[in-house]
Structure 1
């Protein structure tokens, strides 16, 4: 049943969760290696999504998945959570949270670029202008405002943050025609990815240390970023009479995130970060037709 007020409440709840995750990533990575955080958070996400499905009577939809659908889950799970979060957490490990978080928001621009060769779509003039504006914001953030000097604080970190947007865009392109129940499909993806995450962790940094703040951070990331935020956002879009009004709420998240990064992570927010983020969001606004 459509209910715009209910949709807005769910949308704001999602924005609130998204606003905290950059800080949670950075605080958790002070105690865990990126692959350790990925494995523990993926386990927490599996448990969260299983509880949501059980509470809504959806476990039978998971059990009814066909072998072909499980093979699809293996492919999509290799992209998200395995590749996407492994690369994203590595970027957060190298960059200040105030830099990694805005760079990750360029995934929508990356999606429009990949849609040209993969979906046969054409770039409009508006798209090209949006790409130019958004990536000028990337340069401002990455160089701390020293555009002429073009000296990047961490070229590898910037490269990883931008690479994560490619993985995320590929995940959405290949998953666009997925006809499974969304929550059951996401849980299946995570169940297929957990062994990959565990193997990568064991072959890489090894088992996580007995550090309870790290475990708590991983649980938070898994429950909220990888689990509940997906469910509440999906619910918001399903309830919305006007989905565009709900979708526009995402523009609140990055600025709220910067405030939390400042107060909880302790980073002094640079003017170049604010300017660069403004350019990225302006580009996304142009692309969405907000002019």
Structure 2
């Protein structure tokens, strides 16, 4: 099997996992507070990433970093998982999955905008057009189609969903200067963030997190969304001979996610969700088109 075919298989596996997490979020949040779900998920993620590092023979790398890199792990851990997932889970706790999930996908556009002041990249007309299209989709979803009234279904929930995109994009901008091994770095971020999450959970909701479906869904999020999916996507990018083909697979995820949301959660998918999601994906496709053109120029030496 060629490297590109392997990359596509790893990419498809990742997309399938990403497509299920919105449903898992809602199943867990039916009985758990966002911080309780976060605690369970992060514990699960730390365990699975430790196992992955051991299987890959890279466990020793965890102990070979400098003091500055361990301090970096704590700082980045406060952003991801602590702040990012707390805000994201708060959004899913307030909004239907079909609304929270598409809004979260606009983080890629926010990343492009934040890259202008922080990474010195240029903002082009296509970025602005992509933003207008994406956020038109956000308005359609957030108002459930009542665009002219601008009456948001849950302003705080929408604010949390959009706020999570800023946090996530900021995290990846900071990560551009991260010299640690990606899996080792993520493991340490979660490991150092875990005591903070546990303390907040104990202080606010208590550490009795129960069992059953909600607990299992939270474990699923930690194992697959926070752990396995990250590793699979890393493999996909490493194996890819054409990264744009693999990257385009992410556009399948939000639509496939609606299938799980409908059949498992029982949410009736609104027409406004489809319209808004198509606008958001269309805007992101335009933005990624610019990136692909830039990569083609670099490869061709133009």
The offset of 1:215, in angstroms, is 1.7
| Structure-2 residue corresponding to 1:110 | 110
Q: Does 1:188 align with 2:181?
A: no
Q: Does 1:32 align with 2:29?
A: no
The offset of 1:216, in angstroms, is 0.8
The range that moved more, 65-74 or 112-121, is 112-121
From the superposition, tell whether residues 70 and 2 of structure 1 become closer, same or farther in structure 2 (CA, over 3 Å): farther
Aligned-partner Cα distance in 2 for 1:125–1:50? 44
The offset of 1:199, in angstroms, is 1.1
Aligned-partner Cα distance in 2 for 1:165–1:188? 22
From the superposition, tell whether residues 17 and 202 of structure 1 become closer, same or farther in structure 2 (CA, over 3 Å): same
| Structure-1 residue corresponding to 2:23 | 23
User: Is the Cα–Cα contact under 8 Å of residues 45 and 223 in structure 1 kept in the other structure?
Assistant: yes
Aligned-partner Cα distance in 1 for 2:239–2:182? 15
The range that moved more, 215-224 or 226-235, is 215-224
For residues 244-269 of structure 1, the C-alpha deviation after alignment (integer angstroms, 9 at most, x for no partner) is 11010000000000110000011000
Q: Does 1:63 align with 2:29?
A: no
Runs of 5+ consecutive residues of structure 1 not aligned to the other structure: none
Aligned-partner Cα distance in 2 for 1:188–1:122? 33
What secondary structure, in the 3-state scheme, does the structure 1 residue paired with 2:267 have? coil
| Structure-1 residue corresponding to 2:53 | 53
Runs of 5+ consecutive residues of structure 2 not aligned to the other structure: 294-302
Aligned-partner Cα distance in 2 for 1:26–1:268? 14
For residues 191-230 of structure 1, the C-alpha deviation after alignment (integer angstroms, 9 at most, x for no partner) is 0100111111112122234232222111100000000000
User: Is the Cα–Cα contact under 8 Å of residues 3 and 240 in structure 1 kept in the other structure?
Assistant: yes
Aligned-partner Cα distance in 2 for 1:33–1:214? 10
| Structure-1 residue corresponding to 2:286 | 286
Aligned-partner Cα distance in 1 for 2:168–2:151? 27
The range that moved more, 79-88 or 109-118, is 109-118
User: Is the Cα–Cα contact under 8 Å of residues 140 and 276 in structure 1 kept in the other structure?
Assistant: yes
The range that moved more, 212-221 or 272-281, is 212-221
Structure 1 runs of 4+ aligned residues shifted over 3 Å read none
For residues 57-116 of structure 1, the C-alpha deviation after alignment (integer angstroms, 9 at most, x for no partner) is 010111112111111111111111110000000000000000000000000111112112
For residues 29-79 of structure 1, the C-alpha deviation after alignment (integer angstroms, 9 at most, x for no partner) is 001100000011000000000000000001011111211111111111111
Aligned-partner Cα distance in 1 for 2:139–2:210? 39
| Structure-2 residue corresponding to 1:274 | 274
The offset of 1:2, in angstroms, is 7.1
The offset of 1:158, in angstroms, is 0.1
* TM-score normalized with structure 1 length: 0.98
Aligned-partner Cα distance in 1 for 2:227–2:133? 32
* TM-score normalized with structure 2 length: 0.94
Aligned-partner Cα distance in 2 for 1:95–1:241? 39
How many pairs does the alignment contain? 291
| Structure-2 residue corresponding to 1:248 | 248
Aligned-partner Cα distance in 1 for 2:118–2:165? 16
User: Is the Cα–Cα contact under 8 Å of residues 36 and 209 in structure 2 kept in the other structure?
Assistant: no
Q: Does 1:163 align with 2:163?
A: yes
| Structure-1 residue corresponding to 2:300 | none
What secondary structure, in the 3-state scheme, does the structure 1 residue paired with 2:207 have? coil
| Structure-1 residue corresponding to 2:124 | 124
